[in-house]
Amino acid sequence: MNKRQIGNSDLHVSEIGLGCMSLGSDYNKAKEIIDRALDAGINYLDTADLYDFGENERIVGEAIKDRREEVILGTKVGNNFTPGQEGWTWDPSKKHIKSGVKDSLQRLGTDYIDLYQLHGGTIEDPIDETIEAFEELKKEGLIREYGISSIRPNVIREFVRNSSIVSVMMQYNLLDRRPEEEILNLLTENNISVLARGPMAKGMLSSNAEEKVNEKGKEGFLEYSYEELLAIEKKWRDYQSEDRTAEALALQYILYHSSVATAVFGASSVEQLEKNLTYLSATPITDQIFGEVQSMTKPLKYDKHR
């Protein structure tokens, strides 16, 4: 598995990473998925304190306890909740971040987090205070690096200017090309990496694209109508082959940009994981194919999330 450096840090992550949110609550099933991912060379696992209100972190921590040295572990903070109770509130305060990291470390069963991320944020947040909290956690050795998980250009620019973030996690796929328009080049210029989530666009770029468009795209997706999604899906089929599955091409597309360190996909079964692992044996993408599939979709821009 090829690895890419996150920003200017000493974190080198596999080109594809496992998003753990959809692992579910069955520990044995989750461990099977994680073990298969690690055996295949994936070393980046991404979770968050909010996923299943801490239970996801517990499951991930237990699953990797004998393989911790193989893992670049990412988790997130910023949502204040009480385990066992529904609902949460946004809290990017220094007090909450420094309290949250201790809770996450305990649930994960580790004494450090490789990549700690702010799980959201708006321009009205106390950003200086948030940055101060992360910087202190680095000095204390509780985290190795920090980043943000956001698609708000104004928030991203603020952190780029005023912090030492090494990464930004954001949705990026062939149907959601918004990062290409105003984020990727900015991050490249500042040596900050992208962790791309949602590479399959709710499955509409997977080998089950037709089914998923009919299931998830009835009301449209971003600025695409249902009819447009159906038309794209038909063209998408032409690029599937034994040498390059739909999943592989979807991953290759977003990894084509040098600012993307890893494409983070979710898997709720080993079978789903295996489809994404076809990336490893796929014929490399060419400039021509990249251009052809890109031309199938729209160069969208952020509107609401600013």
Point out the residues that are catalytic: 51
Distance CA 232, CA 213 (A): 10
Beta-sheet strands, E only, within 100-211: 113-119, 143-149, 167-171, 193-197
Residue type, 50: L
What tokens appear for 105 in the block? 């470390």
Distance CA 277, CA 251 (A): 10
Distance CA 153, CA 158 (A): 9
**Crossing angle (nearest 10°) for helices 27-39 and 270-277:** 20
Distance CA 259, CA 272 (A): 26
